[in-house]
Chain A
């Protein structure tokens, strides 16, 4: 089983619908992140959390919200999906932000908004 699990893996929805993407991890890491990936662009950070009581906006947080339900769970919500939120979404975890802090990614959630 993957250490970082995302559900759903694929989702097609309509404009205006509420969508939740879920992420759970078994790595025991405190830090969790949500990124989106679009063709021709680098990964862009949406939100990140350094522990259960900590939530921080990333580069492109507008239109998104998150919830850190437990150390192992971090969910991303689109309250009212729009077509330009069609993208590949990745959850990631890391152990610390100092010396290295390599990211461990989930398998991705492909979202299509019609």
Chain B
């Protein structure tokens, strides 16, 4: 079966750096997405990786290793507004998105 694994919850301190991991086992691979979802709100797109390596976008970076079935989202200079759930999703060989359950990130002052 297809599976996306990410930690259920993480806690970090304002101003620090946090890395949220995602491992996947899917039938084929056509890209990996990270979305941010604040409580009670819609998910919003953060990043897309289809090739191995690091994609940087401001305070957020996303890394992909296709051979390891692994990605991480790196958040730097954490702010209170970064408290949210972070969803990892992989597009399989049929271009269907398989979603992880999300990682709830709690930022403490």
Chain A residues near B (Cβ < 8 Å): 4, 40-45, 90, 97-108
Contact = CB atoms under 8 A, between A and B. Distances in A.
A42 B87 contact: yes
Contacts of A102: 33, 45, 48
B41 A43 contact: no
A97 B91 CA distance: 9
Interface string B83-96: 00001010100011
Contacts of B35: 103
A103 B50 contact: no
A103 B87 contact: no
Given A97-B95, A100-B31, A102-B33, A42 B100 contact: yes
Interface in B13-55: 31, 33, 35, 40-45, 48, 50
A43 B87 contact: yes
Interface of B: 4, 8, 31, 33, 35, 40-45, 48, 50, 87, 89, 91, 95-102
A44 B100 CA distance: 10
A94 to B, nearest CB: 10
Given A45-B96, A97-B95, A105 B31 contact: no
B101 A40 contact: yes
A100 B95 CA distance: 10
Most buried by B among A41, A42, A106: A42
Contact of A42 (B4, B31, B48, B96): B4
Shortest beta-carbon contacts, A-B, top 10: A42-B99, A105-B42, A102-B45, A43-B99, A97-B95, A42-B101, A100-B48, A42-B100, A105-B43, A107-B42
Most buried by B among A4, A102, A107: A102
Nearest to B48: A100
Contacts of A104: 45
B12 to A, nearest CB: 21
